[in-house]
């Protein structure tokens, strides 16, 4: 028995998820912010009062958003959706994007989210008025579920993305330097403390996509491959050594986490894509088709 996934199921769940994402920060990110506050307060740094000020304002802001039911940040972003479609899922494929887009538009209207998408990037830059289209990545997976992972991606941080096509022999140090360079260049622009998503391998475009998918992981989780878990820790140490700090005003927490996703690549290359999330790592996961 498979459960039929209808247009309305997708639309309603995306609507709920987008509304929630914009207003309420996931628990893992909140916990990471609280840890960052403690780290700053006990750092003994001369800049401690400013870095704790920044994080306490962020926590105050989260309370205000929940209380007033308005977005925590006025940049409610472009919506990015990773649609993992089970090959056995009982869903009309032509429904998926339409239902996703309908749900997003309704949530942006009802939630008093800012409509930030323009129809043409260069000519006219006319606002579409409903924050559509979303960026949707489809992937076929085994099983009968439809999993939609979404994030609201603000552009203060998105503008700090980067891609470095390293030589294949650049090794671990090359990867660490590439990521650190991109985060150093970003400085206080992407609203630190950030979460760095790193995609390694594939092609240039694939590495960037992996870096986005990496941002969907639980901030507090550990990479299942111990080599990559260690790499994540090494990069995090380097990033926090930059002392960009909360809000870019200095401090020991430039990044709350580094998440790496790796994939096969070509003998001649070592692509490294970096996507930065601001502290407002607004993500939600929807699983449809469960019994």
Partner 1 sequence: MERSVRSLSLPMSRKIAADLCAGDEILLSGTMLVGRDQVHEQFHKIIKAGKVLPVPLEGETIFYMGPAPAPEGAVIGSCGPTTSSRMDPFTPELLDAGLVGMIGKGPRSSAVQEAVIRNGAVYFYAFGGCGALYAQKVTSIVCLAFQEFGPEALYRITIKDFPVIAAMDSRGVSIL
Dist. CA 29–CA 130, nearest whole Å: 27
Stretch that binds partner 1, among 70-78, 86-94, 170-178, 259-267 (CB under 8 A): 70-78
In the complex with partner 1, which residue's Cβ is closer, 49 or 167?
49
> Are 130 and 108 in contact, with CB atoms under 8 Å apart?
yes
Span 117-136, contacts to partner 1 by CB under 8 A = 127
Q: Which of 75, 95, 232, 261 binds partner 1 (CB under 8 A)?
A: 75
- Find the angle CA(284)-CA(97)-CA(260) to the nearest 5 degrees: 45
Residue from 174, 195, 168 nearest 265 by CA: 168
37 binds partner 1 (CB under 8 A): no
72 binds partner 1 (CB under 8 A): yes
In angstroms, what is the minimal distance from the CB of 52 to partner 1? 9
Residues 6 or more apart in contact with residue 194 via CB below 8 angstroms: 157, 183, 186, 254, 255, 256, 276, 277, 278, 279
68 binds partner 1 (CB under 8 A): yes
Dist. CA 176–CA 238, nearest whole Å: 8
Dist. CA 154–CA 140, nearest whole Å: 27
269 binds partner 1 (CB under 8 A): no
74 binds partner 1 (CB under 8 A): yes
Q: Which of 20, 30, 35, 114 binds partner 1 (CB under 8 A)?
A: 114
DSSP string, 51-107: HHHHHHHHHHHHHHHHHHTS-SSS---EEEEEEEEETT-EE-HHHHHHHHHHHHHHH
Span 5-34, contacts to partner 1 by CB under 8 A = none
Q: Which helix (H) or strand (E) holds 174?
A: helix 171-186
Dist. CA 106–CA 119, nearest whole Å: 18
For residue 3, report the phi and psi dihedrals to the nearest 5 degrees: -90, 130
In angstroms, what is the minimal distance from the CB of 254 to partner 1? 13
For residue 30, report the phi and psi dihedrals to the nearest 5 degrees: -60, -45
Q: Which of 26, 41, 48, 263 binds partner 1 (CB under 8 A)?
A: 48
274 binds partner 1 (CB under 8 A): no
Give the SS3 label for residue 108.
Answer: helix
188 binds partner 1 (CB under 8 A): yes
49 binds partner 1 (CB under 8 A): yes
For residue 187, report the phi and psi dihedrals to the nearest 5 degrees: 55, -130
Kindly provide the residue ranges of all beta strands, DSSP E only, lying in 6-69, ordered along the sequence: none
In angstroms, what is the minimal distance from the CB of 83 to partner 1? 27
Q: Which of 7, 31, 249, 269 binds partner 1 (CB under 8 A)?
A: 249
43 binds partner 1 (CB under 8 A): no
Q: Which of 5, 19, 36, 58 binds partner 1 (CB under 8 A)?
A: 58
Q: Which of 27, 159, 171, 172 binds partner 1 (CB under 8 A)?
A: 159
187 binds partner 1 (CB under 8 A): yes
In the complex with partner 1, which residue's Cβ is closer, 71 or 197?
71
> Rule CB under 8 A: which residues touch partner 1?
47-50, 53-54, 57-58, 60-62, 64-65, 68-76, 112-116, 127, 154, 156, 159, 187-189, 191, 247-250, 278-280
């Amino acid at each position: 028995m498979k459960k039929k996934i209808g247009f309305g199921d997708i639309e309603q769940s995306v609507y709920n998820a987008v509304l929630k994402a914009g207003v309420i920060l996931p628990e893992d990110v909140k916990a990471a912010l609280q840890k960052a506050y403690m780290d700053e307060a006990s750092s003994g740094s001369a800049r401690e009062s400013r870095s704790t000020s920044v994080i306490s304002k962020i926590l105050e802001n989260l309370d205000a958003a929940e209380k007033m039911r308005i977005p925590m940040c006025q940049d409610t972003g472009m919506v990015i959706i990773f649609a993992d479609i089970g090959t056995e899922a009982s869903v009309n494929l032509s429904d998926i994007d339409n239902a996703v887009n309908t749900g997003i538009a309704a949530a942006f209207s009802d939630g008093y989210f800012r409509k930030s998408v323009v129809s043409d990037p260069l000519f006219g830059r006319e606002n579409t008025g409903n924050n559509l289209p979303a960026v949707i990545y489809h992937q076929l997976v085994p099983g009968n579920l439809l999993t939609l992972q979404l994030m609201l991606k603000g552009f203060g941080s998105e503008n700090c993305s980067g891609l470095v096509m390293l030589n294949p022999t650049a090794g671990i140090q090359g990867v660490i330097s590439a990521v650190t360079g991109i985060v150093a260049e970003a400085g206080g622009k992407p609203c630190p403390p950030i979460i760095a998503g790193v995609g390694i391998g594939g092609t240039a475009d694939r590495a960037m996509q992996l870096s986005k998918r990496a941002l969907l992981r639980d901030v507090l989780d550990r990479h299942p491959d111990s080599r990559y878990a260690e790499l994540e820790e090494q990069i995090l140490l380097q990033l926090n050594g930059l002392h960009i700090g909360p809000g870019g005003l200095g401090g020991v927490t430039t990044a709350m986490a580094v998440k790496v996703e790796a994939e096969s690549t070509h003998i001649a290359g070592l692509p490294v894509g970096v996507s930065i999330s601001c502290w407002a790592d607004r993500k939600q996961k929807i699983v449809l088709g469960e019994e």
